[in-house]
Amino acid sequence: MRDFSGDHRWLSINTATVRRQRGQDWPLLQILDACAARGIRAVAPWRDQVAAAGLQATARTLRAHGIALSGYCRGGMFTDADAAEQNLRALDEACALGAPCLVLVVGALPGALAGRAQHKDIAAARAGVHDGIAALLEQARQRGMPLAIEPLHPMYAADRACINTLEQALDVCDALDPARSGALGVAVDVYHVWWDPKLQQQIARAGRERLLAFHVCDWLTPTRDLLNDRGMMGDGVIDIPRIRGWVEGAGYAGFSEVEIFSTQDWWQRDGGAVLDTCIARHRSAV
């Protein structure tokens, strides 16, 4: 297991972590400047942030700073009506930015995110997601862009993602890419999977070919909001080093990406100070 205590060369910042500080959007190009000033070598931006900054301007700024991507957020939402079109755009943007993978948040019951689920058939939603990934995988293979299925915590099964365990995600991978070609894998976010009694076993099953991204934050007690109350690494109950040890033991050697949604805490602070804390906690708590 790599020693993170001496530097932050394997730190990546998911730019949602500092997307809106104290009520004001922090523009993506400024976030990239702030990361570069701190020697942060990788980020994972969101599509809306890239759209606001401009795709080409983002690509230029990344190149100028020598900042890599640890992933691109995001494709998926296969149960939405415009999924096919949106996912092709996301693929092309990921290619333009040189992302190592397009992260997939796969969607769930249509309409549920707006509080108006059109049906209750989660098995049907899962079948639709399976077919959606299969179709997108063809396009992704043509572009050489790996797809990373991110299993989300079961508390998002209704409205955000109906793939909710690593085992389930890997079953989809095995069905659609039995050769373990590298074109299809998973993003392991400790927030979503830390509770899973089969986590260690399934990380080993995933192996190097399937482990495309590793995300960290922490689970707070109490958690006051289902979506936007994630904790900074070290402030919660997740044994992050243990999970990182399993992931690296299975062959993962990429970035550790910090992704924190925090309305009441981290989004209320100065963005630069948040980045400084991410660096410190990457070294001490990851």
Gyration radius from the chain CA atoms: 18
Nearer to a copy of itself among residue 114 and residue 179 (C-beta): 114
Is the CB of 95 or the CB of 124 nearer to a copy of itself? 124
Residue 263 CB burial class (10 angstroms; 0-12, 13-18, ≥19):
middle
Name the segment binding a copy of itself (CB under 8 A); options: 10-18, 60-68, 236-244, 273-281: 236-244
Query: In the set 5, 181, 223, 268, which binds a copy of itself (CB under 8 A)?
Result: 223
CB–CB of 82/90 below 8 Å?
A: no
Q: Binding of a copy of itself at residue 194 (CB under 8 A)?
A: yes
What CA–CA distance (Å, rounded) separates 80 from 118? 11
Site string for a copy of itself, 6-25 (x = CB under 8 A): --------------------
Token readout for 143 is 């572009």
Sites for a copy of itself among residues 152-171 (CB under 8 A): 153-155, 157-159, 162, 164-165, 168
The binder of a copy of itself chosen from 237, 253, 270, 284 (CB under 8 A) = 237
Residue with smaller CB distance to a copy of itself, 112 or 137: 112
Instruction: Give the residue with the Cβ less far from a copy of itself, 28 or 238.
Output: 238
Given a contact cutoff of 8 angstroms between Cβ atoms, the answer to whether 213 and 188 are in contact is yes
Q: How far is the CB of 59 from a copy of itself (least distance, A)?
A: 36
Per rule CB under 8 A, is residue 197 in the interface with a copy of itself?
Answer: yes
> Closest separation between CB of residue 195 and a copy of itself, Å?
4
CA distances from 76 to 72, 132, 135, 136 (A): 12, 8, 11, 9
**Minimum CB–partner distance for residue 211 and a copy of itself (Å):** 21
Segment contacting a copy of itself (CB under 8 A): 38-46, 54-62, 63-71, 230-238?
230-238
Structural tokens at position 270: 């100065």
| Rounded CA separation 110/80 (Å) | 6
Residue 195: is it exposed, middle or buried by C-beta count within 10 angstroms (0-12/13-18/19+)?
Answer: middle
Residue carrying structure tokens 């992931």: 247
Residue 150 makes contact with a copy of itself by CB under 8 A: no
Task: Indicate which single residue of 96, 122, 134, 280 sits in contact with a copy of itself (rule: CB under 8 A).
Answer: 122
Bridge-partner residues for 213, per DSSP? 187
Q: Which residues of 56-69 are buried (b: 16+ CB within 10 A; e: fewer)?
A: eebbebbeebebbb
Rounded to a whole number of angstroms, the minimum distance from the CB of residue 188 to a copy of itself is: 15
Q: Give the interface segment with a copy of itself, choosing from 80-88, 189-197, 201-209, 270-278 (CB under 8 A).
A: 189-197
246 contributes a contact to a copy of itself by CB under 8 A: no
Tell me if 116 sits within 8 A of 78, measured CB to CB: no
Burial class (CB in 10 A: 0-12, 13-18, 19+), 18: buried
Binding site for a copy of itself (CB under 8 A): 109, 112-113, 115, 117, 120-122, 126, 153-155, 157-159, 162, 164-165, 168, 194-197, 219, 221-223, 226, 236-239
